[in-house]
Amino acid sequence: MVGSTHGSLLLPLPLRARRSYARRPMNSPPHHLRDPAGWCAAVAFAFLALVCLRLGIPSKPYFDEIHYLPAARALLAGTDWLNREHPMFGKVIIAAGIGLFGDHPWAWRLPSALAGTLTVWAAMRALWFASLSRFATLAYGVLLTSGFILFVHARIAMLDVFMVALVTVVFWQCAAAVREPEHGRRSLAIAGVALGLALGTKWNAIPLAPLPGLAFLAARLHACGWRGLIGRRGPPVPGIRLGEAAIWLGIVPLAVYALTYLPAFLVDPAEAGRRGLIGIHQMMLSMQESVVKPHPYQSVWTDWIINRRAIWYLYEPVDGAQRGVLLIGNPLTMLLGLPALAWCAWAGFARKRADALAAFLVFAASLAMWIVAAKPIQFYYHYFLPSMALLAALALALDALRSRGWGWLSWLVLAGSVGVFAWFFPILDASPLQGQRAFEHWMWVDSWR
């Protein structure tokens, strides 16, 4: 969770805004700073339009769709719970797309496209409420939409994009609760529900789950001391006691998460009833840890942060042409984001920049899970959540450069991100390629092959 504008909430305004709004009352509405909500919506809808191009190609399941589509169909038919190593909610969403629009390729992937669009909107709104910087907010939108990872996952029926979308809603609503405390209770309630659904989609959200509650506790104790344990005054959301915050950010997510397993009891009541919720989790954890067979695309976190190991989700003749879909981060912004993260750590601890500190901590927490996780086979798509925080850090760093007179460099990075995205676009959206060896055109390093 992020703080407010002044004093104990530890979130200073951007330099330009601070000069103009030094006398603003604490927690005043952010629209006085020209809220870029319209531009956020425009970026999100432009992303949706781009994602929907050739959304039905390939016309057959590819990569992990071969696991999730049968699981969604079984849930829709009420016959079984397949792909049991993962929670259920993401597969329920895919099943809803099939149930509403038919069992067609674009219907499989439309929920992912909508989730990707929600991710762009919610992530931009979260950074706006955190930083109150129009430039950082819009720069983040550009970096996200041209960052490769979100685009590829918004076009495939996998679970990751649903989990990421729900996590961004959590941070958006927590930040909104701080900036608009008159709606704080509603925002925290939405955040709690979204957090439970994120956990019920994929366990990658686990390391981020405690952060909103811990941030609320830290901000209240920092401002009010031990009196903050029982009082309702003070940051981060005046009027909300710690006990109530614990309900919205602790109990509600756990309850919602538990409810996401209801389909397991409906489609396979004998086994679910025999195991119970705890037994189901023991089974899932055992399945997660049992995958030990080496995979040609496996990688580790040290590969991810330097953008070293790509995954070909598709590369074969399909729908009348050679086509490919490559998962890798934008080579420019994934590397530039690393010094940006270092700057955010420095600005957060030394300069008390809560927005910068939040970006760094989200990155560190979401990556740390994969450093210590007892999951022997890991893949680049596990970097999805950390990469979101990395791009937020880059957006904040570009805004800081701009405020110091280096605006041309900030614009150059944004233009470069879009340019690299355009260059790689044919192997991000399964465009027709010229022959079987066409992939070599984009293989800047051998480890991407």
The rounded Cα 183 to chain-centroid distance in angstroms is 24
Indicate whether 324 pLDDT > 90: yes
Where along the chain do its domains lie?
7-13+36-448
At position 3, the amino acid (one-letter code) is: G
Contact 387, 362 (CB under 8 A): no
Contact 92, 75 (CB under 8 A): yes
- Specify the pTM: 0.90
Residue range 422-440, pLDDT digits in tens: 999 999 999 999 988 888 8
Residue range 407-416, pLDDT digits in tens: 999 999 999 9
148-162, 169-183, 274-288: the lowest-pLDDT one: 274-288
What is the per-residue pLDDT for 174?
Answer: 95
Residue range 204-261, pLDDT digits in tens: 999 999 999 999 898 888 777 777 677 777 788 888 888 999 999 999 999 999 999 9
Contact 325, 123 (CB under 8 A): no
Residue range 176-197, pLDDT digits in tens: 999 999 999 999 999 999 999 9
